[in-house]
Amino acid sequence: MANTNVLLREDVDNLGARGEIVKVKAGYARNYLLPRRLAVQATAGNVKQIDAERGALLKKESREKGTAEQQAAQMGSLRLEFERRVGEHGILYGSVTSMDVAEALRERGYEIDRRRIQLREPIKEIGDFTVSVRLHREVIIEVPVVVSPEGGVPVAESASSGADAAGGAETPAAEAPAEGSDAAAAE
């Protein structure tokens, strides 16, 4: 496979930081990094140009980190709440995704890209969760997320009513096999 050296102009997750020279597959550079202006070919001229810009890049980096830290301080008391339709056992009909979290943050005045919201998998049940939001490479905050059933039913009542409904349904089924020995043997 053909590899090429590129000079990163922006931070790229799982690849490197701005100003680093990294070796990548030629197709990845040609089709993704170069068209999005995330990197340039690592020629002697480009390396010299980036070295000359390094001071400005360091200032920009510290300014971005300072802004992210200020935003993290403002978001410290933030708590997101979602109401969703819920089935019997507290399982959501849909889910709460990183796009939903980004939209809720946008409604509160924080413009954060959904890719910066670190959610391993969508939230599919009611309860309290913690979602990581990466404001900067070195600034990550934890945002509490509460998912409750639609209609304002508290989580505890919903869970207990779901358990009661399940318990009520299981009790007659458990008694039925005990009455018929053939049905109990089949289980």
Strand, coil or helix: 93: strand
**Do residue 140 and residue 85 come from a single domain?**
yes
**Do residue 36 and residue 125 come from a single domain?**
no
**Do residue 97 and residue 16 come from a single domain?**
no
Question: The tokens 């597959």 sit on which residue?
Answer: 25
Looking at the domain assignment, is residue 52 inside a domain?
yes
**Do residue 93 and residue 49 come from a single domain?**
no
Q: Sign of the CA dihedral 31, 36, 39, 42? A: positive
Say if pTM beats, i.e. exceeds, 0.85. Answer: no
Question: The tokens 């068209």 sit on which residue?
Answer: 35
Residues shown for the chain: 187
Confidence at residue 59, expressed as pLDDT on a 0 to 100 scale = 86
Tokens standing for residue 51: 């070295």
**Which parts of the chain have pLDDT scores under 50?**
155-187
Confidence at residue 16, expressed as pLDDT on a 0 to 100 scale = 87
Confidence at residue 181, expressed as pLDDT on a 0 to 100 scale = 42
Looking at the domain assignment, is residue 21 inside a domain?
yes
Confidence at residue 56, expressed as pLDDT on a 0 to 100 scale = 81
How many domains does the structure of the chain reveal?
A: 2
What is the extent of the structural domain holding 88? 78-176
Confidence at residue 156, expressed as pLDDT on a 0 to 100 scale = 46
Looking at the domain assignment, is residue 94 inside a domain?
yes
Confidence at residue 152, expressed as pLDDT on a 0 to 100 scale = 62
Q: What CATH number should be reported for the domain holding residue 143? A: 3.10.430.100
- Partner residues linked to 24 by β-bridges: 4
Let me know: does 95 contact 145? Beta carbons within 8 Å: no
